[in-house]
């Protein structure tokens, strides 16, 4: 399973990270109706979440991801993961999910436990608690048949939610995620209806049409899975792309979803997984990803790594990425004895260099921005951002390049204003690193792109950024 383009891999990351972002964004506003007009990652809420901390939505998604990232699609093992999580005494567990998990000893028991719960509660078992966690399932089936994906999504849903509405919602959303990753469109949501029985197709056609024509703010009461799906779909379809940066649609849709109110973290998670799959991890601003964290001591980078492993069927490449401990060992073989860096004269708190400089004893930074693939133990820093930036031209490589460069440049300025030191690097400090260094000088000093690139050339005389990178810097800062 290695036939995806760089942009598709980025969108796969966006699906899982987007879920967590929407979850954390909504966590502080749960049961607030209406929600805030401009939600932020404030934390708090009824369970005292930390700013940027995800809730049970992402926690349960991680239970699924940890199985799928091994290359297995064993639903009983996923159920075992749910039970292990439940027995760890999480802050928040949905009422229905709690009732089902408390009745099972092993994952293999969950389907029957959920079915018994549904039999006893036929009119109140269609909660949103399985839809909120479903993104990892879609990533495991990007190169497998649609019907097989839908069946598996329904089976994973049925571990806790036996109501057919919950299972069908997961199947629809998973197909939406799959084709958002593959084709960068939302057409998979409507396309899923073609694979459903005629009665279900008619019902869900009406559900989706209603979401597309009514205001997102109409879809309160979204603890119910149908209303939750409608709230997310309305937030996505009734918000516009940004004019200068189209991928700003991701941020606008997520904020709209949370502003609806009620089950804000879950509607945020459901929205985030699909809009993230459409726009990619590179469309998520660093202001959000730098705060993101939660059970089981994961952060943004670990989520991204999990998404990559799932799409690769649990396999690493010949260099040991993404599961290997170190990529620097590989870079050392490529670049031999380099390991160089230099501080910006205009701001010594920002250093730029190559990957091997991370092994230099005299280099320290609060924030490390890695513009290349890294291993699991390569970087020790308070903040570490691994950025999807490929040193090759074309939208199939860097679909959100303009936004990415602008966001990172702004973030460097913000980190420095907060007193944090920053180290920016790629493999050899020849293309990606000088590009971002120049962009940060433009943002902080008001230089033009051309002026900033010449300033950086004085520091890195071997630099040779590709023409698309320099073109973006010159366009953004004329």
Domain residue limits at 70? 6-311
Report the CATH number at residue 343: 3.90.190.10
Q: What CA–CA distances, in Å, run from 173 to 11, 12, 17, 232, 321?
A: 15, 14, 16, 10, 29
Q: Write out pLDDT tens, residues 281-322.
A: 999 999 999 999 999 999 999 999 999 999 999 999 888 899
**Claim to verify: residue 39 and residue 165 sit in the same structural domain:** yes
**How far, in Å, are 9, 354, 415, 443, 451 from residue 446 at the CA level?**
34, 26, 17, 6, 10
Kindly state whether residues 193 and 233 are assigned to the same domain.
yes
Number of domains in the chain: 2
pLDDT per residue as tens, the chain (478 positions):
468 999 999 999 999 999 999 999 999 999 999 999 999 999 999 999 999 999 999 999 999 999 999 999 999 999 999 999 999 999 999 999 999 999 999 999 999 999 999 999 999 999 999 999 999 999 999 999 999 999 999 999 999 999 999 999 999 999 999 999 999 999 999 999 999 999 999 999 999 999 999 999 999 999 999 999 999 999 999 999 988 999 999 999 999 999 999 999 999 999 999 999 999 999 999 999 999 999 999 999 999 999 999 999 999 988 889 988 999 988 888 776 678 999 999 999 999 999 999 999 999 999 999 999 999 999 988 899 999 899 988 878 999 999 999 999 999 999 999 999 999 999 999 999 999 999 999 999 999 999 999 999 999 999 999 999 999 999 999 9
Q: How far apart are CA 179 and CA 172, in angstroms?
A: 11
For 46-74, letters b (16+ CB in 10 Å) and e give ebebbebbbbbbbbbbbbbbbbbbeeebe
Helix (H) or strand (E) holding 109: none
User: Can you tell me the distance from the alpha carbon of 173 to that of 153, in angstroms, rounded to the nearest whole number?
Assistant: 9
H-helix or E-strand spanning residue 372: none
What is the reported pLDDT for 334?
Answer: 77
Residues 65 and 186 in one domain: yes
CA dist., res. 327 & res. 308, Å (int): 15
Please check whether residues 284 and 337 belong to one and the same domain: no
Return the number of other C-beta atoms located less than 10 Å from residue 422's C-beta. Answer: 24
**Predicted local distance difference test score (pLDDT) of residue 336:** 67
Domain boundary among 279, 311, 343: 311
Domain-ending residue, one of 284, 311, 338 = 311
Which pTM was predicted?
A: 0.97
Residues 98 and 181 in one domain: yes
């Amino acid at each position: 399973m290695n036939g995806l383009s760089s942009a598709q891999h980025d969108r796969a990351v966006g699906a899982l990270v987007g879920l967590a972002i929407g979850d954390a964004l909504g966590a502080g506003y749960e049961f607030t109706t209406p929600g805030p007009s401009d939600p932020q990652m404030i934390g708090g809420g009824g369970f005292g979440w930390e700013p940027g901390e995800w809730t049970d939505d992402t926690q349960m998604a991680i239970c699924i991801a940890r199985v799928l990232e091994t290359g297995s699609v064993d639903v009983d093992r996923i159920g075992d993961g749910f039970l292990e999580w439940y027995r760890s005494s999480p802050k928040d567990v949905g009422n229905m999910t709690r009732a089902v998990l408390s009745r099972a000893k092993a994952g293999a028991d969950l389907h029957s436990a959920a079915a018994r719960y549904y039999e006893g509660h036929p009119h109140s078992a269609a909660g949103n608690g399985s839809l909120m966690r479903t993104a990892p399932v879609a990533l495991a089936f990007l190169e497998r048949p649609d019907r097989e994906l839908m069946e598996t999504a329904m089976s994973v849903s049925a571990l806790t939610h036996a109501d057919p509405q919950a299972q069908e919602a997961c199947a629809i959303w998973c197909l939406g995620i799959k084709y958002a990753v593959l084709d960068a469109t939302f057409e998979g949501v409507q396309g899923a209806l073609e694979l459903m029985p005629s009665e279900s197709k008619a019902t869900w056609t009406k559900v989706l049409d209603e979401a597309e024509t009514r205001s997102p703010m109409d879809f309160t009461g979204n603890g119910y899975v149908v209303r939750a799906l409608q709230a997310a779909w309305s937030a996505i379809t009734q918000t516009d792309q940004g004019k200068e940066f189209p991928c700003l649609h991701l941020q606008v849709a997520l904020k709209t979803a949370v502003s609806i109110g009620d089950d804000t973290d879950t509607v945020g998670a459901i929205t985030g997984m699909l809009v993230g799959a459409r726009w990619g991890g590179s469309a998520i601003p660093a202001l959000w990803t730098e705060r993101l964290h939660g059970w089981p001591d994961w952060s943004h980078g670990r989520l991204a790594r999990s998404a990559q492993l799932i799409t690769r069927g649990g396999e690493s490449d010949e260099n040991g990425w993404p599961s290997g401990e170190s990529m620097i060992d590989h870079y050392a073989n490529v670049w031999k004895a380099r390991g160089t860096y230099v501080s910006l004269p205009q701001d010594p708190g920002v250093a730029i260099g190559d990957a091997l400089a991370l092994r230099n004893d005299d280099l320290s930074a609060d924030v490390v921005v890695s513009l290349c693939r890294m291993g699991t133990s390569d970087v020790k820093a308070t903040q570490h951002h691994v950025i999807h930036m490929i040193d090759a031209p074309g939208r199939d490589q860097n679909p959100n390049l303009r936004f990415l460069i602008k966001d990172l440049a702004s973030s460097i300025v913000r980190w420095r204003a907060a007193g944090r030191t920053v180290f920016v690097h790629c493999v050899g400090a020849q293309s990606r690193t000088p590009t971002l260094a120049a962009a940060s000088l433009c943002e902080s000093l008001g230089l033009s792109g051309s002026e900033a690139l010449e300033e950086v050339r004085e520091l890195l005389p071997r630099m040779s950024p590709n023409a698309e990178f320099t073109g973006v810097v010159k366009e953004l800062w004329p």
